[in-house]
Amino acid sequence: MKASKDDGTRWEGVGFGLSLGVLATLNQYKLPPVLQILLERYDYDRVLAGGFMSVYALVGLLLSVPAGRALDRFGFRLVEAACALFAAGSLLTLAWPESGALVLVGRALEGVGYTLLAIAGPALANRSAGPAQVGFVAGIMATWVPVGQLVANGIALPFANAGNWQAVWLAALAFTLAVFLWSRRMRRRGVGFAPPPNGGRPGALGQAERRSLVLASLVFLLFSGQYIGFMSWLNQYLVAAQGLSAAGAVGAASVAAGAVLVFNVLTGAAFRAGLPLAPAFVGSLVIEAAAWLAVPHVEGLVGLGVLALYGVACGVTPVCLFAMPALIVGRERVGAGAFGVLMRGRNVGVLAGPLLVPLLLERLGGWDTVWPVFGALTLGAGLGAAWLATHVGRDGAGQALRR
């Protein structure tokens, strides 16, 4: 794998790691843009429909830590197995979409693939980064969620009003095949998951390191619960509560995802330049909480502006979180196992968020109950971020990531 002449960064590894994350997110987020179509055509129970998203997280909750250890050992073989699972799950849904139970099984198979790639992508990219680029690579890798969302939305846009959800599944299958072939090519060339720069294996985690990773995982849980929960049902909210068409909802939902993407990259660049961790990490979560509290009081262009501001803040938070393993463990020792601990919390949030929204809607009185609950979750994440920023990133993310 070709390395940068000046700092040892293997950019092909970074690019492939990003592709793995995008593929994982595309398969998860191919559902929300066409969820309304599926609900109308197949009359799924809403809680079951939320489970189509949350089953990804349930599988990840169970498998994240062992998956991280297995990826350190087997590398690209498990990447290719993940692609096969995506294909199997997609084909099952295409064959029997009228059966909610079989769709759930198909999504569970995809969830195993997602769990593997959601760890493999960041781990491979971080191991491929040179000392001066770890913060920037963290920013690049944080884009895998919004890029995957935007790809899914872009694919769905011309088909949403026509009710052709199958086209989205077929496009995801084509992308899955492309990544599978890329993985085979890299493995034939003898490329593996790059070892730490000292040539050794990722070190065992100390007690203090594991505690800090668990707290980072809890922050990820709260952040992802409100973010993934809202994004999973945003299209439905825009159609049902704001009166937009299916295509109009896809376009409006892309505003927040686009803001997240832009600020993932900008935050990574700012970290490379020495941006301190604390104001970025804590400040982004405070802005998100404020946006939740403002939502009931705004509409129209102002509401769209609040949604964009929320997307900006959500672009900063995951960069800080994906930087945590390198800050806590050290760039020389970080491996897939550390990311497995981090991703366990994210998976709990992804599990709970999409299920929490319909429960709030159907049991507690509508969208007005969603905003304060998600605001409280985000404030809780901010408290955890404040502790981590003080104890882990006290010397500034830019400097710490270049140790």
The DSSP letter of residue 367 is G
Cα angle value 335/336/341 (rounded, 5°): 110
Calculate the dihedral angle through the C-alpha atoms of 125, 131, 132, 135, rounding to the nearest 10 degrees. Answer: 50
**Given this model, what pLDDT does residue 80 score?**
94
pLDDT of residue 332: 63
Q: Which residues, including other chains, have CB under 8 Å from residue 343's CB and lie 6 or more apart?
A: 60, 64, 68, 115, 118, 119, 217, 220
Closest CA to 181 of 334, 227, 368, 189: 189
Per-residue model confidence (pLDDT) at position 192: 54
| pLDDT at residue number 132 | 67
Task: Give the pLDDT of residue 337.
Answer: 72
Q: Which two tokens stand for residue 302?
A: 């102002």
pLDDT of residue 195: 47
pTM above the 0.85 mark?
no
Token digits for 248? 């109009």
Instruction: Report yes or no: 225 and 352 within 8 Å, Cβ to Cβ.
Output: yes
Per-residue pLDDT of the chain (403 residues), as tens digits, is 454 444 667 777 788 988 999 999 999 889 988 888 888 889 888 778 878 877 887 888 888 888 887 887 788 889 999 999 999 999 999 999 999 899 999 999 999 999 999 888 888 887 776 766 767 877 888 888 878 878 888 888 888 777 789 999 999 999 999 999 999 887 776 555 544 444 445 556 677 778 888 999 999 999 999 988 887 777 777 777 667 777 777 777 777 777 788 888 898 888 878 788 788 999 999 999 999 888 777 766 777 778 778 888 998 999 899 888 878 877 666 667 778 888 888 888 877 887 788 888 777 767 778 888 889 999 999 999 998 888 774 444 444 444 4
Distance from C-alpha of 283 to C-alpha of 196, rounded to nearest angstrom: 32
